[in-house]
A and B are shown apart, each in its own frame.
Chain A
């Protein structure tokens, strides 16, 4: 059973650069979620997909953030013109149904210099 896979695990970049993260969900799961977690806090919802359709976006997702899920398989989250406040762990999760338990990857830790 391959779980949710996220790459890279760590990303260090300079302020102002663009970064892209990838998430490979469990293959039979049609729902995919992105969350952001800062130190000492719980994850905060960013956006979610059902198959290839992006159905909900949080107000946290500024216009510098964009997410895609082409063909309803893997997903990418891109942050343009990174800022110090973007430093966080970005978590991806997938689930087979609307109120099913979510399976999380180990996240991508982003550090902005």
Chain B
């Protein structure tokens, strides 16, 4: 079963615009992570936010976490064509051993 659900399922923007993706989850978590996947490749870790954190930045990425609403958002600022990929949120759950539960992902297309 899937824990996270990303929204929207697909997003198409122009280069230079910002992209916002949302993720909702169902149970309590230790942390939430965002990953990127280019077509036919493995996943690349982007950012990890712990359950006691509310916001985290990494370069052009900004992640927020609202544990009361069980939701997170990923903002990519000043998008580039190279940002075209699928983006997944992943959560562990309170009693897990660290294995991750992924959502279905948001497919981002950035047009030059």
What 1/0 mask marks residues of chain A from 1 to 23 whose CB sits below 8 Å from any chain B CB? Answer: 00010100000000000000000
Across-interface contacts of A103 in B (CB, < 8 A): 45
Interface size on A, residues (CB 8 A): 30
Known contacts A42-B2, A42-B104: does B31 contact A91 (CB below 8 Å)?
A: no
Minimal beta-carbon separation of B97 from chain A (angstroms): 5
Q: Which of B14-22, B36-44, B59-67, B73-81 contacts A (4 or more CB under 8 A)?
A: B36-44
Shortest beta-carbon distance, A46 to chain B, in Å? 9
Chain A residues, Cβ within 8 Å of B92: 99
Complex: A50 Cα to B41 Cα, angstroms: 25
For residue A43, CB closer than 8 A to chain B, the reply is: yes
Asked if residues B44 and A104 are in contact (CB atoms below 8 Å), the reply is yes
**What is the interface residue range for chain B against chain A?**
20 to 34
Contacts of A6 in B (CB 8 A): 42
**What is the count of residue pairs linking A and B with beta-carbon distances less than 8 angstroms?**
65
Nearest to A104 among chain B residues (CB) is: B42
Cβ contacts under 8 Å, B103 to chain A? 42
B85 / chain A contacts, CB cutoff of 8 Å: none
Contact of B98 among A41, A95, A109 (CB under 8 A): A95
B43-A99 in contact (CB<8A)? no
Encode contact with A along B2-40: 1 for CB under 8 Å, 0 otherwise. Answer: 101000000000000000000000000011010100001
Residue among B2, B33, B97, B103 having the largest count of chain A Cβ atoms under 10 Å? B97
Q: Which 7 A-B pairs have the closest CB atoms?
A: A42-B102, A104-B42, A101-B45, A98-B98, A104-B43, A106-B42, A45-B99
Chain A positions near chain B (C-beta within 8 angstroms)? 4, 6, 31, 33, 35, 40-45, 48, 50, 55-56, 91, 93, 95, 97-107, 109
Measured CB to CB, the residues of B under 8 A from A are: 2, 4, 30-31, 33, 35, 40-45, 48, 88, 90, 92, 97-105
